[in-house]
Chains A and B, each alone.
Chain A
């Protein structure tokens, strides 16, 4: 049944024997150890606690409860861990979970260094990992794996969401404020490409170190560039400080900041006064329609906060994983992987979403504009929909992916 080569199977069972444990040995059908375990590996104590953290764990728990708490007659357990934003800590926890605690799937994975490291472990141990809150497109390219799913968004969808829509809207000269990290530089390059393709022009970029507090110097450089759009290729505190400085130094009416990765939570900490008019691409907004509101209000009751796109993605992807197990009638990773890629995703989070062979979940993305304070009518009423970006446009075309699971090179 399983697609594993006999040699690998022997190596695996002998490793399991050497470790004196039977729980990592898998039956070829049915359930490995009479329980499906999901591990949420997230930042519980660092700078991303608000973006994923405890609320991410809660989202996964909600999905499990809504699913009924068991699948194919075996119970589902949720455990969680803190990667402390260190790739080695994350990788170590993931190994331990897969090897000796029988975890079948790891979800969330904020911080791209952690996500890449855990994806490597998942590939090696042939267990599932679903990345919801980091953007590295390496996950569906050179580091792709049949066991790794990249669910909510990625750098490509951010660049093509915000970048393309703005250029089409007439904003065709750009200046970037980029965090000097692989994430920022990669995003800047992608958006630049989009801008140039659409006939726009990139006038320059300033690359600042991570955790820069004073952005006034960059605000001045951005002003001096004369660009119409100031692309902010950073996230969290850096993006907030950058937007604050741009607003403080009064970017003139013919200049407009565009945030390439702004979280719902960031808008709250900016305040609508400063954030109004910002454009951002998000895969999910709580107040988009009846279904999202229904989920978000339940989520709010449990966590005291509205879900952001990663947390909504945690719920949706967990649900999808469980659906795949049910369809496969087994938690065998290969069978589940196959079902995950065959089943369509239709819930409050995605309509007609599907997972490509390289692990990319393709679904619509949305460009939002932040409301002005007097347009916000009730609590958490922050965003207005500008346009919907169809999934096939937002995500990297499959033929461009360098994933070894595709036969693109041949």
Chain B
């Protein structure tokens, strides 16, 4: 059976790969969405934190001989710590101002991080081996899926679910959501809102770092690896509905699939399609697919 001249088997394969790619988008945009939700700041440095995650993993493996599982745990934490430091030192001075200043500050951070890594490690990047336990491929009937790609889906969805659970179902998440809606009132209830905000930023960029470590064995680790990703992630979050956790996850996966199919039918357009989708969504559903319309 063929669809537009392409065997259905091949399309199933592309669907699968779209989900893998979408998993990265989901983790990344989840981080961006919770940062926006709480800090009301568009974190332009999200792609740079993605790169930071991948590079930290590389450095840990290279110089300390850390195995993959350690890096998967340590690198996102390191990225989160760095992010919290950045928030604590600089970003918090801009709260309550026009969001454009936050955009500008995080953009400057991109220049510093990418430029700095290029000075330190050159532009051409580093090899990163797939962990031995995850080498090889599984036969899915319609394709051979490399085990590592399967692992990416599982790991990404797991971290998304955990994050969603913490935010929607725990006390910590409840105060977080309260701080999002009414920061001053929450503060009055004795909750340390500034600390909560710092933590949120840490978690958000930590997720980007996690995606970076996941990406390291399959995408080329180099200083500019996150720079073209960031505006796609913006688009994903806006399409999902700003601040909507579920929206970011579902849209991330969905757009991965849409992009995957575009690669088959009109490959040149594959990095642009997400913007076409965004225009259409915003014109038809002003608050995005999963966002709440505000009066």
Contact = CB atoms under 8 A, between A and B. Distances in A.
Contacts of B264: 217, 221
B268 A209 contact: yes
Interface stretch (A11-19, A263-271, A334-342, A345-353): A263-271
10 contacts: A51-B123, A207-B267, A208-B268, A209-B270, A220-B17, A236-B124, A237-B225, A244-B220, A248-B148, A250-B146
Contacts of A47: 123, 224
A237 B224 contact: yes
A240 B220 CA distance: 7
B122 interface: yes
A207 B224 CA distance: 21
B122 A49 contact: yes
B21 A216 contact: yes
B271 A212 contact: yes
B125 interface: yes
A245 B148 CA distance: 12
Contacts of B224: 47, 211, 237
Nearest to A206: B267
A103 to B, nearest CB: 26
A180 B267 contact: yes
Interface of B: 7, 10, 13-14, 17-18, 20-21, 24, 115, 118, 122-127, 129-130, 137, 143-144, 146, 148-149, 215, 218-220, 222, 224-225, 227-229, 260, 263-264, 267-268, 270-272
Contacts, number: 112
Which of A213, A241, A249, A250: most chain B CB closer than 10 A?
A: A213
A123 interface: no
A287 interface: no
Contacts of A263: 124
A250 to B, nearest CB: 6
A48 interface: yes
Contacts of A212: 270-271
Nearest to B126: A269
Nearest to A50: B124
A45 B114 CA distance: 10
A240 B20 CA distance: 19
Given A216-B149, A217-B17, A208 B125 contact: no
A216 B20 contact: yes
A291 interface: no
Contacts of A7: none
A396 B272 CA distance: 36
A240 to B, nearest CB: 5
A219 to B, nearest CB: 9
A207 B21 contact: no
Nearest to B121: A50
Interface in A225-277: 236-237, 240-241, 244-245, 248-250, 263, 265-266, 268-271, 273-274
A214 interface: yes
A61 to B, nearest CB: 19
A54 to B, nearest CB: 10
Contact of A269 (B13, B215, B222, B271): B222
A368 interface: no
Contacts of B228: 211
Nearest to B128: A271
Contacts of B229: 213
Given A180-B267, A209-B271, A268 B17 contact: no
Given A209-B271, A250-B144, A46 B123 contact: yes
A221 B146 CA distance: 16
Contact of A249 (B146, B270, B272): B146
